[in-house]
Chain A
Amino acid sequence: MAKPKAKVDNKKCLACCGCISVCPQDAISWIGNKARVDPGKCISCAICIRTCPVGAISGDVQ
């Protein structure tokens, strides 16, 4: 089974950009006032998930 990729819940994301700042793969960008993960670049390290202050990012099994 493939490792889960980080996924942002747009209803919760407040665009603080913490996840973008700590992503070791530069896989997250600010798009339309929200953080968005590029699953192609995501290495499933979960750093962004732990960083999010409001729990807006979770692992998405594709």
Chain B
Amino acid sequence: MNLKYDVVVVGSGPAGSVTARFASEGGAKVLVIERRSEVGVPVLCGEGISRKIDGWDMLQGKRWMAGKMDGARIYSPDRTCVTLSADQAGNETGYVIYRDIFDQELARRAIKAGAEFMMNTKATGIIKEGGKIKGVKAQHFDEELEIECKIVVAADGVDSKIAQWAGVKTRLDPKDLETCCQYTLTDIDVKDAYCEFYLGKEIAPGGYIWVFPKGKRIANVGIGILASLSESGMAKKLLDRFIENDPRLSKGKNLRFLAGAVPVSNPAEQTVADNLVLVGDAARHVDPITGGGLTHCLEGGKIAGNVIAKAIKKKDYSAELLSEYEKGWKEAFGQKIKRNYLVKEMMLNMDDKTFDKLAHALEKVKFDEISTHGLVKEVAKHLPISTKLNALIKHRKEIKEIKKK
């Protein structure tokens, strides 16, 4: 069967749905295809998001919200606790969400704007004519589809194949991927609304363990470790050991177990080509320190959708016009991701003792900003000068190498 749209979005995650919504609101005829049978299911996420989304007009109602957080506690390897609390800073923290409902709400907004969604539809290739992208090949149950379009949006996640098929290199180095798994435990002894993070080479090499409360006595308890430091099944083994040794959690009952993979690389160098746009995890729009990407998906998706609508109106689908999106996301959060990637690299070179020393220095600090930025600023003040210098030298080397290329 042959179909025809202005825009085909591959993937119905937050980045795909928000892109579809804004492109549709701008007058484009949009189809979203999704290989799974339900938007947002299965969840592949720790389900935390910053409260800076308040006022963004992305989500309606409160069904997607599991709880408002009062702050965060970060535990160093020797279990020194650095607390970031909302009342202390008079600042915003975050929400823990139901990611399936969250995604479905974003999809609903896209549909309201006129986008069509087709589930159980897996992209199998790109249609090219004379080197130009002309659409997407897909399989809907047993039926082969050829969907003609002007612009293809790769919103197909960490394992993006669309980008690869289109000739954009997206393969991740294992040192730039967090491999994760998570239980949703109920009947646990976690009462207050604080997100907890546990650091340490023995606890979670190159990553952290998190406890995100979803209400009273229920929480997401998960782990992310760097794939380059992982062995087969290590993430699950380390998480199981952590839960077993924590008396608050060890008697918990499991409601859900899931696995995930998070890009913690620099943002993709190329996110547009003629007739092609990359968004969300496919564009590596994730904070390399926290592994959080939802706010970027919403911000980036809005920029992408608006630029795509403009391209359709002007009948100009060139990389040149679409690069307005690339400029937009770089301004909005690109610099932040790049900076945090450097910090991630620096943290990987730090041993547990350095983390402990830092935590001892930060234990009594009152943070005026609850964010990775606020934390990084404080950390930078207390880091040994040798660590900072090493990072700087490495950074300079990398810049030189980039310039050589």
Contacts and interface: CB of A to CB of B under 8 A. Distances in A.
A10 interface: no
A23 B35 CA distance: 21
Interface stretch (B68-76, B173-181, B241-249): B173-181
Interface residues on A, range: 20 to 34
Nearest to A18: B261
Contact of B233 (A29, A47, A53): A53
A49 B164 contact: no
Interface stretch (B15-23, B24-32, B99-107, B224-232): B224-232
Which of A15, A17, A18, A20 has the most B CB atoms < 10 Å from its CB? A18
B227 A50 contact: yes
B233 A51 contact: no
Nearest to B235: A53
Contacts, number: 90
Contacts of B236: 53-55
Contacts of A22: 171-174, 177, 227
Contact of B235 (A17, A21, A26, A54): A54
Interface residues of B, number: 34
A43 interface: no
B174 A50 contact: yes
B221 to A, nearest CB: 14
Given A14-B259, A21-B158, A47 B235 contact: no
B100 to A, nearest CB: 15
Interface of B: 35-36, 42, 44, 122, 157-159, 161, 164, 171-174, 177, 179-181, 223, 225, 227, 230-236, 257-261, 263
11 contacts: A16-B258, A20-B159, A21-B172, A22-B177, A22-B227, A23-B171, A52-B233, A53-B179, A53-B180, A53-B260, A54-B233
